[in-house]
Amino acid sequence: IYGVFYKFQPIDLIRKYFGEKIGLYFAWLGLYTEFLIPSSVVGVIVFFYGCITIESDIPSKEMCDQHNAFTMCPLCDKFCDYWNLSSACATARASHLFDNPATVFFSIFMALWATMFLEQWKRLQMRLSYFWDLTGLEEEEEHPRPEYETKLIQKKLKTKNTTENANEVRCDFPLMFELINVYICLQIMLTFSAVFGVMVYRITTAAALSFSTNETTRSNVRVTVTATAVIINLVVILILDEIYGAVAKWLTEIEVPKTEKSFEERLILKAFLLKFVNSYAPIFYVAFFKGRFVGRPGHYLYVFDGYRMEECAPGGCLMELCIQLSIIMLGKQLIQNNLFEIGIPKLKKLFRKLKDERTEPKEINTNQSKDPQQWDLDYSLEPFTGLTPEYMEMIIQFGFVTLFVASFPLAPLFALLNNIIEVRLDAKKFVTELRRPDTVRAKDIGIWYNILSGIGKLSVIINAFVISVTSDFIPRLMYQYAYSQNGTMHGFINHTLSYFNVSHLKAGTQPENSPFAQDVLFCRFKDYREPPWSQNPYEFSRQYWAVLSARLAFVILFQNLVMFLSVLVDWMIPDIPKDISEQIKKEKSVLVDFFLKEEHEKLKLIESFITRDKHRPQNGTKATWSLFHSGVLCF
Amino acid sequence: IYGVFYKFQPIDLIRKYFGEKIGLYFAWLGLYTEFLIPSSVVGVIVFFYGCITIESDIPSKEMCDQHNAFTMCPLCDKFCDYWNLSSACATARASHLFDNPATVFFSIFMALWATMFLEQWKRLQMRLSYFWDLTGLEEEEEHPRPEYETKLIQKKLKTKNTTENANEVRCDFPLMFELINVYICLQIMLTFSAVFGVMVYRITTAAALSFSTNETTRSNVRVTVTATAVIINLVVILILDEIYGAVAKWLTEIEVPKTEKSFEERLILKAFLLKFVNSYAPIFYVAFFKGRFVGRPGHYLYVFDGYRMEECAPGGCLMELCIQLSIIMLGKQLIQNNLFEIGIPKLKKLFRKLKDERTEPKEINTNQSKDPQQWDLDYSLEPFTGLTPEYMEMIIQFGFVTLFVASFPLAPLFALLNNIIEVRLDAKKFVTELRRPDTVRAKDIGIWYNILSGIGKLSVIINAFVISVTSDFIPRLMYQYAYSQNGTMHGFINHTLSYFNVSHLKAGTQPENSPFAQDVLFCRFKDYREPPWSQNPYEFSRQYWAVLSARLAFVILFQNLVMFLSVLVDWMIPDIPKDISEQIKKEKSVLVDFFLKEEHEKLKLIESFITRDKHRPQNGTKATWSLFHSGVLCF
């Protein structure tokens, strides 16, 4: 499989063998993968830009400079000591890789990329539906699902018993609908509580590990906690994903939608909502909530008794967001690809074989054919369960690529690598491991298009917030152009750190065994607050509000600029390729000409008969003429 | 005309007489006018809410309270005196009429109203195109305009002379295109300079009038200046509007577009751009720029030597925006309706008559018919010049109704009153005063729909900014929930006024003949700045930045909320009415059935001939069968 990644997909053959619906899926997947190539190239360039400029980045240099010696406030009560900012040098340097001006450019690029992709897909869809003769395909009157009819009959019977008019019975269950919505909300709450649980785990474990007397344990607290927490997150996501798939199906079955199509749409919407929240909740938490509600030294916020809210690493939350994103994305892809798409089917196959072998001995006597027929072999394959899981996987990946791309420019690259394998894996699965599905005609990819365009729109505002709120981009700009003495970034770190008078620490929260507790008068913490010697100590300073204004102004500017550009792109690329629209026009005129000619010939034929029958009584001519006219009027 | 305003329009008759294009215009105008009814009702309610709550509004009460006695800094250098804030009581009370929380609700309502209107128009258009048999109407191959062909031939001749290949000649003039863009930019600059000119007029006149020794002149400076300036603005807009119409036409003719349709589209786009900027530039100036660059006492911004930038009235810029908006909107409508749509055509008619009469005496001898024939009467009418000016007028009005609705909730009412007359006026004009236009088929209102939807989108962001930046809504909210001692609005006025030490006034700018100059130590001005006794006197205070953050946060919230709701509305209302789509489906199946039957009958007829001719050599049967098949395959 892996050897043919560079070849084009035989879309037309796929369509002939599997039908239009699966053909469209592979065409979509192909286009998406193709579009990932430029974006991953740009992403890699942006990443390398970060790597190259890391040496000239003044803030991270200042942070690593031992001479500056910023004494930071302790990270936990009692057991943590004051610490020097230069010890967080490594994370600061790493975070520059993702937190640089090129990222802003990249997220604008990716927003336009998403618009462009959707536009191109519309064109490709048009082209395919032309070549596959789907242009005239109308939604056919769909038959109600058998489950729906059963339900209807049951209800009719019930109402007959209660002697009501059976004609008025209609299959809408408002109460049921409410219940389903409540249930979905409950499931979403489950996701949130899982995220909260992981947060509590992180806080408590970090606290527990800092009590430890072992020196190496204590120095690696953050790494250990972050790594284990992300893995727990990943496992929770994977488990909940499977559960939510089943839940969505179950809920939709309860709803008893009328037709197969509406069943599919409702199922997709529910499953998407649940899986989307599930996959992104921990990432949203890290991006927008983590480290924002810590309070300040002397007035920390406590989750439970004695446990402080968690802070971001000194390099900024963006670094943590990046780690979270990359591990969840990669882990999800690797595990879902290898385990769920290859492993589980293989296991199931093995299991079925074993079961068959156990039951076979009895049948072998009655059935003499030793060479298994093709249908026997096909029967041993897995049944086809629809395209929904395949699309869902890709859409969630599309979300990873677009929603938080500002914090992880390598996401498109990883998505590309995954998809190159995924295309062939899916193809192999469809061809060799699943029973051949019934061919279904479809004009488009249906509700998935709406979901994709929704994600595209959401990504603009999320990226705007990631850049302005999570990253340090705006404070740096503000410092350089408003607060800096000489227009350079020198002194930025000092500017972002507030002072705290250690004598204001609450009793019992001072560091216990601090070797230099006597020398420390002020410790520093990352926030814009008034210094202890001002009139309103520890209140948010003017800088805080000025930076906040700048952040929000950036969000407005970014969002409206990108939306405007998207509308422009949407407007400039016509939905129907020019050659196709011309072809359609030409064919139409050819068809009209042809039909006129045909009708003419038919008429001539009839007339020739009539001429021959001239001497007989004529009763057919008038009818023929009316036929001819109605035939022409058809156009 | 005016007596039939409550009657429905005879759309079908209009369509029969004038053709689909004009029929669609009147249908659109009718729907728009209908939609204005609910919005003007809500607008009036919002206005009355302002009227009722005016007594209980604490800030305006405080402003009118003589006991508070805020001594304000002088409004101009040297000649103006210190003044008491309570003298601006009337404007403060008036501005509450438009600057209250109901306005926020109303502008959300209007944004959704615009979306709903566009959706309903889509549905109505669908319905009309169904009943008018336009569903199958394809864009026909349009013929090039004669002007285009002439140009092409000229160019071909030229290139032949220079012995180049004539086939390669295509009619694109990149240089010309550039020139046109430059010219449009120049025209827009002209508008801006007109706005700037009016601003300068306002500043200088205000200054000149304050020198005046006449007491009554001086006390009415603001009223006189505002009124005259708005009228100048209005006159400039009306004149430039006519000029821009001609300019757009001229530029499009220079461009030599290929077809009549592209000519119309380009003309509309250009004319719209120019007229839009022309109509709204002064309003934009008042809403977002006026009074924002005044500087502060002791450090004013000067336009020219000695002329300070103009400030808004003490009641806030919203009041002035409202005055500007209402006068321009009403003036434009009244003058354009009465003068341009009734007066000028009447004058032209009179002029033609006079001219005819002068030339008639000679012809009266040769021409004996005394009763003028219908064609003679029709010839004396004005020629039809297209729908563009009619649409343009309505679209600009739609802009007034949606773009700045947050500052003037009565706009929909005035638009409604105008349109009730406008519909009949247009109808009368089309029927009795213009020559009957050539009927043109059209499937939709074309580019106007895009412009409308563009205005709808723009209105969301503009309203967000009007509410958050121009009105005092956010500062009031902030005061009530963040700064107020007891959660009420008491003390709000005091909070918004900064202190200024009069001894810091620059030499030569102090009030000259001030009766109480000796008693005044501090004067107040409206801004959030540090008091003179702080460390950084007159710098923006923390409150300034906090309020700015709140304003920007409101913009983000408002914009995204309204956009989300619009998408929801768009999604919930299907584009094609259900009954129409079912009708279309049914008709299609009936048509297919009918055709199958017809073909069958035709075949039978032919077969009957053939059966009768059985003994003769058969050569027609095969052909007939193939005809039958091709006939069936058509579906």
Residues B418 and B280 in one domain: yes
Q: What is the mean pLDDT of residues A214-231?
A: 74
Q: What is the mean pLDDT of residues A461-468?
A: 89
Q: For residue A243, report the phi and psi dihedrals to the nearest 5 degrees.
A: -60, -45
Residues B564 and B588 in one domain: no
Least confident of B37-41, B149-153, B467-471: B149-153
Q: For residue B632, name the pLDDT band (cuts at 50, 70, 90).
A: very low
> How far is C-alpha A629 from the geometric centre of its chain's CA atoms?
56
CB nearest A552 (choices: B461, B556, B588): B556
Q: Number of structural domains, chain A?
A: 2
Residues A97 and A132 in one domain: yes
pLDDT of residue B143: 67
Write out the DSSP string of A341-360: IIIHHHHHHHHHHHHHHHHH
pLDDT of residue B344: 74
Q: Running DSSP on this structure, what letter comes out for residue B285?
A: I
Judged against a pLDDT cut of 90, whether residue B211 lies above it is answered with: no
Per the domain annotation, does A164 fall within a domain? no
pLDDT of residue B187: 82
More confident residue, A367 or B247: B247
The whole-angstrom separation of Cα B263 and Cα B256 is 8
Enumerate the residues of chain B whose CB falls inside 8 A of the CB of residue A588.
Answer: 138
Q: What is the mean pLDDT of residues A132-146?
A: 65
For A388, residues 6+ apart whose C-beta sits below 8 A from its C-beta are A264, A267, A268, A271
Per the domain annotation, does A82 fall within a domain? yes
Residues A616 and A550 in one domain: no
Enumerate the residues of chain B whose CB falls inside 8 A of the CB of residue A549.
Answer: 545, 548-549, 552
Judged against a pLDDT cut of 80, whether residue B117 lies above it is answered with: yes
> How far is C-alpha B409 from the geometric centre of its chain's CA atoms?
15
Q: What is the mean pLDDT of residues B552-581?
A: 86
Judged against a pLDDT cut of 60, whether residue B512 lies above it is answered with: yes
Minimal-distance CA residue of chain B relative to A552: B552
Long-range contacts of A509-514 (CB under 8 A, 24+ apart): A509/A77, A509/A78, A509/A300, A510/A78, A511/A74, A511/A78, A511/A79, A511/A80, A511/A81, A511/A82, A512/A78, A512/A79, A513/A81, A514/A81, A514/A82
Q: For residue A316, name the pLDDT band (cuts at 50, 70, 90).
A: confident
Least confident of A136-140, B61-65, B271-275, B413-417: A136-140
Long-range contacts of B239-246 (CB under 8 A, 24+ apart): B240/B190, B240/B191, B240/B194, B240/B278, B241/B275, B241/B278, B241/B279, B244/B187, B244/B271, B244/B274, B244/B275, B244/B278, B245/B271, B245/B275, B245/B389
Contact B527/B509 with Cβ under 8 angstroms? no
Per the domain annotation, does A154 fall within a domain? no
A171 touches chain B (CB under 8 A): no
Q: What percent of chain A has pLDDT over 90?
A: 4
Tokens coding A417 = 């690598």
Write out residues 433-472 of B within 8 Å (CB-CB) of A.
461
Position B87: which residue type? S
B333-359 pLDDT per residue, tens: 888 776 776 777 778 778 877 877 776
pLDDT of residue B631: 44
Least confident of A487-496, A589-598, B373-382, B406-415: B373-382
Position A545: which residue type? W
Judged against a pLDDT cut of 50, whether residue A50 lies above it is answered with: yes
Whether B541 sits inside 8 A of A542 (CB atoms) is yes
pLDDT of residue A370: 57
Q: In angstroms, what separates the C-alpha of B598 from chain A's closest C-alpha?
A: 7
pLDDT of residue B484: 82
Long-range contacts of B626-633 (CB under 8 A, 24+ apart): B627/A598, B627/A601, B627/A602, B628/B599, B628/B602, B628/B603, B630/A594, B630/A598, B631/A598, B631/A631, B631/B595, B631/B599, B632/B596, B632/B599
Q: What pTM did the predictor assign? A: 0.83
Enumerate the residues of chain A whose CB falls inside 8 A of the CB of residue B474.
Answer: none
Domain boundary among B576, B594, B612: B576
B572 touches chain A (CB under 8 A): no
3-state secondary structure of B434: strand
Minimal-distance CA residue of chain B relative to A540: B542
Minimal-distance CA residue of chain B relative to A539: B542
A559 touches chain B (CB under 8 A): yes
Highest mean pLDDT among A130-139, A248-257, A437-446, B155-164: A248-257
Q: In angstroms, what separates the C-alpha of A542 from chain B's closest C-alpha?
A: 5
A553 touches chain B (CB under 8 A): yes
pLDDT of residue B93: 81
Write out the DSSP string of A280-304: HHHHHIIIIITTTS-EETTEE-BSS
Domain boundary among B548, B576, B604: B576
Contact A556/B552 with Cβ under 8 angstroms? yes
Minimal-distance CA residue of chain B relative to A536: B542
Judged against a pLDDT cut of 70, whether residue B142 lies above it is answered with: no
Judged against a pLDDT cut of 90, whether residue A41 lies above it is answered with: yes
Nearest to B172 by CA among B160, B192, B155: B155
Judged against a pLDDT cut of 80, whether residue B538 lies above it is answered with: yes
For B298, residues 6+ apart whose C-beta sits below 8 A from its C-beta are B500, B504, B505, B506, B538
Judged against a pLDDT cut of 80, whether residue A569 lies above it is answered with: yes
Judged against a pLDDT cut of 90, whether residue A306 lies above it is answered with: no
Enumerate the residues of chain B whose CB falls inside 8 A of the CB of residue A540.
Answer: 542
Minimal-distance CA residue of chain B relative to A591: B634
CB nearest B605 (choices: A559, A598, A624): A624
Per the domain annotation, does B142 fall within a domain? no
Q: For residue B362, name the pLDDT band (cuts at 50, 70, 90).
A: low
Judged against a pLDDT cut of 50, whether residue A557 lies above it is answered with: yes
A575 touches chain B (CB under 8 A): no
> How far is C-alpha B294 from the geometric centre of its chain's CA atoms?
29
Enumerate the residues of chain A whose CB falls inside 8 A of the CB of residue B540.
Answer: 542
pLDDT of residue A217: 67
Q: For residue A180, name the pLDDT band (cuts at 50, 70, 90).
A: confident
The count of C-alpha atoms lying within 13 angstroms of the C-alpha of A323, restricted to the half-sphere facing its C-beta, is 21
Whether B605 sits inside 8 A of A602 (CB atoms) is no
pLDDT of residue A379: 66
Position B564: which residue type? F
Residues B548 and B617 in one domain: no
Per the domain annotation, does A635 fall within a domain? no
Least confident of B32-41, B104-113, B210-219: B210-219
Enumerate the residues of chain B whose CB falls inside 8 A of the CB of residue A602.
Answer: 602, 606, 624, 627
Which domain covers residue A617, as residue numbers?
580-630
Enumerate the residues of chain A whose CB falls inside 8 A of the CB of residue B595.
Answer: 634
**Best residue of A461, A545, A629 to probe chain B, by most B CBs closer than 10 Å:** A545
Domain boundary among A576, A591, A607: A576
Q: For residue A623, name the pLDDT band (cuts at 50, 70, 90).
A: very low
Enumerate the residues of chain A whose CB falls inside 8 A of the CB of residue B631.
Answer: 598, 631
Residues A503 and A589 in one domain: no
Nearest to A107 by CA among A397, A456, A419: A456
Judged against a pLDDT cut of 70, whether residue A573 lies above it is answered with: yes
Contact B210/B218 with Cβ under 8 angstroms? yes
Does an H or E element contain B273, and which? helix B260-284
Least confident of A259-273, A547-561, B142-156: B142-156
Q: What is the mean pLDDT of residues A262-280?
A: 85
More confident residue, B198 or B19: B198
A81-90 pLDDT per residue, tens: 787 887 777 7
The whole-angstrom separation of Cα A399 and Cα A420 is 18
Residues A525 and A597 in one domain: no
Residues A415 and A535 in one domain: yes
Judged against a pLDDT cut of 50, whether residue B166 lies above it is answered with: no
Size of interface A-B (CB pairs under 8 A): 83
Q: What is the mean pLDDT of residues A7-17?
A: 69
Residues A398 and A411 in one domain: yes
For B584, residues 6+ apart whose C-beta sits below 8 A from its C-beta are B130, B135
B556 touches chain A (CB under 8 A): yes
Long-range contacts of B583-590 (CB under 8 A, 24+ apart): B583/B130, B584/B130, B584/B135, B585/A138, B585/A141, B588/A138
Contact A403/A462 with Cβ under 8 angstroms? yes
The whole-angstrom separation of Cα A436 and Cα A456 is 34
The whole-angstrom separation of Cα B209 and Cα B433 is 48
For chain B, the average pLDDT equals 78
pLDDT of residue B561: 92
Per the domain annotation, does A153 fall within a domain? no
Per the domain annotation, does A166 fall within a domain? no
Residues B500 and B590 in one domain: no
More confident residue, A153 or B171: A153
Residues A342 and A472 in one domain: yes
Query: Is A590 buried (19+), middle (13-18) or exposed (0-12) by CB count in 10 A?
Result: exposed
Q: For residue B369, name the pLDDT band (cuts at 50, 70, 90).
A: low
Judged against a pLDDT cut of 70, whether residue A257 lies above it is answered with: yes
Write out the DSSP string of B103-128: HHHHHHHHHHHHHHHHHHHHHHHHHH
Residues B501 and B616 in one domain: no
Enumerate the residues of chain A whose CB falls inside 8 A of the CB of residue B583.
Answer: none
* Exposure letters A257-288 (e unless 16+ CB within 10 A, then b): bbeeebbbbbbbebbbbbbbbbbbbbbbbbbb
For chain A, the average pLDDT equals 78
B141 touches chain A (CB under 8 A): yes
Per the domain annotation, does B151 fall within a domain? no
Minimal-distance CA residue of chain A relative to B453: A567
Minimal-distance CA residue of chain B relative to A530: B542
Enumerate the residues of chain B whose CB falls inside 8 A of the CB of residue A594.
Answer: 630
Q: What is the mean pLDDT of residues A72-82?
A: 77
B405-428 pLDDT per residue, tens: 888 888 899 888 888 877 777 777
Q: For residue B630, name the pLDDT band (cuts at 50, 70, 90).
A: very low
